[in-house]
Amino acid sequence: MIQVGVLLPQNFRLLSIAAILDVFDTVNGFYRKDDLEIPFNISLIILEDKNYNFSEHPCVPLQKAAHLDLILVPSFATNDIKDSIAANRNYIPWLNKQHAAGAEIATFCTGAFLLAASGLLDGKAATTHVDACSAFSTAFPLVHLKADKTVTQDGKLFTSGGATSTFHLLLHLLQLHCGKDMAVKVAKIFAIDMDRVNQSYFSTFQPIRHHNDDIVASAQEKIENNYQDVATIEEMIKDIPSSRRNIVRRFKQVIGITPIEYLQQTRIEAAKKLLEQTAQQMTEVIYNSGYNDPKAFRKVFRKSVGMTPTQYRDKFQAR
């Protein structure tokens, strides 16, 4: 029997916990129905000695937790991931100790931040919620972030993207421990498309705005107000009292990307909104998002979003 520990960290997201427990309880139920030994013995690992009424599984204080075979780290419900990591710092040496003893560790959505804080992901592949990838790569530059991936596995370490990607990682774990037939059975029960491996089309460009660099803020404003004009970055920032080299250096340092990349992402985000919210012809979408070369637009859009503009419209346009 596989000993499974589900962390209940401070600021955990209840939906993440519910999905994990529901899937594993469903699998155990299938085995019981066939009079077979259940494959998973599940406990909830907590930082303090208290019980949670939403689960029939025992709550085990961290200091009393025995060796586990599989540890699951849910996502955080927080606007300040640094505070959440600090509040759960006592889990970090324990995760290192469990992994050194052979435990598999799987994180869901922003739960990857806690695992990355342990150092276990350094030099390893990982993913997280698509809109948290910028913050993740800044905080943990040694991790090989695969921002477009729904699920990653690097040795005994597993991560998943945001929200419903939780189910894809759970299916991956089930296939490893219970076989593909069980994974398919669960996918049907929970209506999960097993072939989704990309999450980039769920992303929303959310540039950093809370900083104290007036020159960078001015460059951001000029790009956002003039992205529709077919112009060079030099033209857009020509009135800013600083050299191009200095602006680019400070922009990359503060925002994490160059002004050219910022312009590109601003234009792609504008195109996505036009595809979602309007019936404009594709040529209009291309022009109104700042491009004059359809071939270049489609190439950049597909690279950034992970699908063609037409596929994106078919998936997300309000009917």
* pLDDT-based confidence at residue 78 (cuts at 50, 70, 90): confident
- What is the pLDDT, as a whole number, of residue 239? 83
Give the C-alpha separation, 191 to 39, whole Å: 22
Q: How confident is the model at residue 29 (pLDDT cuts 50, 70, 90)?
A: very high
C-beta of residue 16 within 8 angstroms of C-beta of residue 108: yes
pLDDT attached to residue 96: 97
**How confident is the model at residue 55, as a pLDDT?**
78
User: Is residue 23 over pLDDT 80?
Assistant: yes
Distance (Å) of CA 25 to CA 8, 18, 44, 278 = 17, 10, 13, 44
pLDDT of residue 109: 93
Looking at the chain, the whole-number percentage of residues with pLDDT higher than 70 is: 96
Per-residue pLDDT tens digits for 253-276: 888 889 999 999 999 999 999 999
Look at residue 306 in the predicted model and tell me its pLDDT.
Answer: 85
| Mean pLDDT, all residues of the chain | 90
Euclidean distance between CA atoms 135 and 280, whole angstroms:
34
Percent of the chain with pLDDT over 90: 62
pLDDT exceeds 90 at position 130:
no
Listed range (27-41, 82-96, 241-255) with the worst mean pLDDT: 241-255
**pLDDT at residue 49 tops 80:** no
Question: What average pLDDT score do residues 75-94 get?
Answer: 90
Q: What is the mean pLDDT of residues 60-87?
A: 91
Name the pLDDT band for 319 (thresholds 50, 70, 90).
low
Which residues lie below 8 Å from residue 118, measured CB to CB, with a gap of 6+? 92, 93, 95, 96
pTM for the whole structure = 0.74
pLDDT tier at 50, thresholds 50, 70, 90: low
Whether the per-residue pLDDT at 233 is higher than 80: the answer is no
Question: Whole-angstrom Cα distance, residue 217 to residue 41?
Answer: 53
**Which pLDDT belongs to residue 270?**
95
Q: Which domains does the chain have, with CATH numbers?
A: 2-202 (3.40.50.880), 214-316 (1.10.10.60)
pLDDT band at 288 (very low <50, low <70, confident <90, very high): very high
Q: What is the pLDDT of residues 139-151, one digit of tens each?
A: 999 999 998 888 9
Q: What is the mean pLDDT of the segment spanning 113-121?
A: 97
3-state secondary structure the chain: CEEEEEECCCCECHHHHHHHHHHHHHHHHHHHHCCCCCCEEEEEEECCCCCCCCCCCCEEEHHHCCCCCEEEECCECCCCHHHHHHHCCCHHHHHHHHHHCCCEEEECHHHHHHHHHCCCCCCCEECCCHHHHHHHHHHCCCCEECCCECEEEECCEEEECCCCHHHHHHHHHHHHHHCHHHHHHHHHHCCCCCCCCECHHHCCCCCCCCCCCHHHHHHHHHHHHHCCCCCCHHHHCCCCCCCHHHHHHHHHHHHCCCHHHHHHHHHHHHHHHHHHHCCCCHHHHHHHCCCCCHHHHHHHHHHHHCCCHHHHHHHHCCC
Higher pLDDT, 270 or 78: 270
pLDDT of 208 reads 81
pLDDT in tens, 185-231: 999 999 888 776 676 666 778 888 888 889 999 999 989 988 988 66
Token pair recorded at residue 48: 């303090």
Q: What pLDDT was estimated at residue 52?
A: 72
**More reliable by pLDDT, 36 or 239:** 36
